[in-house]
A and B are shown apart, each in its own frame.
Chain A
Amino acid sequence: MGKVPGSLRSAVSTALIKRPSSLVPSESPTQRPRFFPKKSPSSQLSGKTSQSKNTNSSETTKSPILFTSPDLSDAKKLFKSIVATARAPLSPRFHNSLLQSYAAISTVDDSISLLRHMIKTEPSFSPDRSTYHILLAQSCKASDSTLASTHQALNLMVTSGFNPDKVTTDIAVRSLCLSGRIDHAVELVKELSLKHSVPDTYTYNFLIKHLCKFRALSAVYNFIDEMRSSFDTKPDLVTYTILIDNVCNSKNLREATRLVDVLAEEGFKPDCFVYNTIMKGYCMLSRGSEALEVYKKMKESGVEPDLVTYNTLIFGLSKSGRVKEARKYLNIMTEMGHFPDAVTYTSLMNGLCREGDALGALALLEEMEARGCSPNSCTYNTLLHGLCKSKLLDKGIELYGVMKEGGMKLDTACYATFVRALCRDGRIAEAYEVFDYAIESKSLTTVAAYSTLESTLKWLNKAREQGKAV
């Protein structure tokens, strides 16, 4: 607190100081996730600049929101009183954090005005690149229908002598994508590539990933082609992994195979991630033989399978009803020095339950716990589901007791199966209790939980009328 005098504390930041100091650590984590995507590059940058500028660490921790009103004149007054009470000259970093905190609640125009005001009243303050990045991020986060305010921020930056660089592009792209303005992000990347610099691979791949998520595959390919032909920005191995993952998720294996070929043509050697992704694609379609094929190919080309590879393989084999082989790979992976985790065991249990061997799955739970691997809620859900399906309701109720004790959530399918099994067994009251637990533990929405209960009871009553069930 060297540079901030005591008088300032009482005069300005009442909102900040009034609360106990424990507020600061409690507030920074809540603030961080919100700012994370933008902050990481900008903090990188300010890290670079800070070396030469000798900043006071106490100021950087003082970033919690000072400004409480989005009104510009209030902000100016507040700024004036801060400057008036400060003994030593304030560092640019302090100005930036002030601007940042104002930007969080104001409009872009007001932020720019405040910056102008700061420059005018405080001649010693010269804004640096990260100052403009604050404005840029703010303009990108606003839900505008055009890029006008982003251009405004960029123009301001250029006229102040800072040419947008790769970090600028990254900040803009991430902020735009996170506020759902993906078309604007594409537009801006093209524009910035044309005028200033091309995006680096991280920005590029981030954008590709977002495009894959929200746009058609053809749009992604168009973008890649355009970037390649206009700016010579080529997709790298990570890009291909993203693409393969995307087409696998949409179960388009033919396209995935094509992409693997393209990958080889471009001179990339597939790594563990690519293989894992392809394997996952096959596993999702329950094609165990192909998944094994990929595993063999991996071994042949000298890529060492990792934990994910084995988990995927065991999952795939279990899913396609080849539990025995899956078990074999459990042993192999242990020999290779990988520790099977909850995912491995849950996949195997799933396989066993599918075969109707819920008792075998229960035995596996014991084995798993004996080996020091603790089951998660997914494990329990799988088991409960399996037990209900194999008409081992008493064991299921026992397991449900454990889940309830541990406060675990029920998944939709497991809840439905369990409720149905209870009702079929004439334990309506217990089914109601499970219904209450599902809502209380926030496993399902009330609507979903009730719909299942209602339809199950309807079915039960119908069956009773026809004299079928108990």
Chain B
Amino acid sequence: MLPPRMKKAITDNPKKLANLIDLVNLPLPLREFVGQSQISRLGCFMRVWSYIKDNNLQDPNNKNVVNCDEKLRSILLGRRQVELAELPALVKLHFPKESK
């Protein structure tokens, strides 16, 4: 079902996909946030993004900015505000390369 280019990307570099969808044992703060002990990087991102949507955390004046609440702050380096553009990179910080 995958488009050819995607398929090629996967066959060229299976590790890249693996590090996106493999389950990883989570560090403690993240464990509390997602409520389970293992999650993939993709799953974690989806969790954070839907948490932002569900709690209306996007700044009403500038939708590109997220005003973090207590819970979100605990996993995003303790920052009050993050930009949506940084979100994937911030989530990635919890998934260091040489995990496993």
Interface residues, chain A, CB within 8 Å of chain B?
A: 411-412, 423, 426-430, 432, 444-448, 450-451, 453-454, 457-458, 460-461
Chain A residues with CB under 8 Å of B46's CB are: 446, 450
Q: Does B5 contact A (CB under 8 A)?
A: yes
Find the A residue at minimum CB distance from B84.
A428
B42 with A445: CB separation less than 8 A: no
Residue in A411, A427, A446, A453 whose CB lies within 8 Å of B88: A453
A432 with B49: CB separation less than 8 A: yes
Chain B residues with CB under 8 Å of A432's CB are: 49, 84
**A432-B84, A446-B46, A448-B6 known; A458+B89 contact, CB < 8 A:** yes
Chain A residues with CB under 8 Å of B96's CB are: none
Residue in A446, A448, A451, A460 whose CB lies within 8 Å of B85: A460
How far is A451 from B87 in the complex, measured between Cα atoms in Å?
A: 13
* Interface members, chain B 28-68 (any A CB < 8 Å): 42, 45-46, 49, 58, 63-64
Q: Does B20 contact A (CB under 8 A)?
A: yes
Q: Does B77 contact A (CB under 8 A)?
A: no
Find the A residue at minimum CB distance from B66.
A429
How far is A323 from B86 in the complex, measured between Cα atoms in Å?
A: 42
Chain A residues with CB under 8 Å of B2's CB are: 445, 448
Most chain B CB atoms below 10 A, which of A444, A445, A453, A454: A454
A445 with B1: CB separation less than 8 A: yes
How far is A424 from B1 in the complex, measured between Cα atoms in Å?
A: 29
Chain A residues with CB under 8 Å of B63's CB are: 428-430
Q: List 14 A-B contacts (CB under 8 A).
A: A412-B5, A423-B85, A428-B84, A429-B58, A429-B64, A445-B1, A446-B46, A448-B6, A450-B20, A450-B46, A450-B88, A451-B6, A451-B20, A457-B85
Residue in A426, A446, A448, A450 whose CB lies within 8 Å of B64: A426
Which 4 residue pairs of A and B lie closest in terms of their CB atoms, listed nearest first?
A429-B63, A428-B64, A412-B3, A428-B84
Apart from A412-B6, A461-B85, 10 more pairs, CB < 8 Å? A426-B64, A429-B64, A429-B84, A445-B1, A448-B3, A450-B20, A450-B46, A451-B20, A457-B87, A457-B89
How far is A375 from B6 in the complex, measured between Cα atoms in Å?
A: 27
Find the A residue at minimum CB distance from B16.
A451
How far is A399 from B34 in the complex, measured between Cα atoms in Å?
A: 37
How far is A458 from B84 in the complex, measured between Cα atoms in Å?
A: 12
Q: How far is the CB of A11 from chain B (nearest CB, A)?
A: 45
How far is A450 from B16 in the complex, measured between Cα atoms in Å?
A: 13
Q: Does B93 contact A (CB under 8 A)?
A: no
Q: Does B83 contact A (CB under 8 A)?
A: yes
How far is A447 from B40 in the complex, measured between Cα atoms in Å?
A: 11
**A448-B3, A448-B6 known; A428+B42 contact, CB < 8 A:** no
Find the A residue at minimum CB distance from B20.
A447
Q: How far is the CB of B38 from chain A (nearest CB, A)?
A: 18
Hey, what's the 0/1 contact readout for B1-31 against A, CB within 8 Å counting as 1? 1110110010000000100110000000000
Find the A residue at minimum CB distance from B63.
A429
Find the A residue at minimum CB distance from B7.
A448
B84 with A454: CB separation less than 8 A: no
Find the B residue at minimum CB distance from A411.
B3
Chain B residues with CB under 8 Å of A430's CB are: 63
How far is A461 from B86 in the complex, measured between Cα atoms in Å?
A: 8
How far is A429 from B66 in the complex, measured between Cα atoms in Å?
A: 10
How far is A184 from B3 in the complex, measured between Cα atoms in Å?
A: 31
Chain B residues with CB under 8 Å of A461's CB are: 85-86, 89
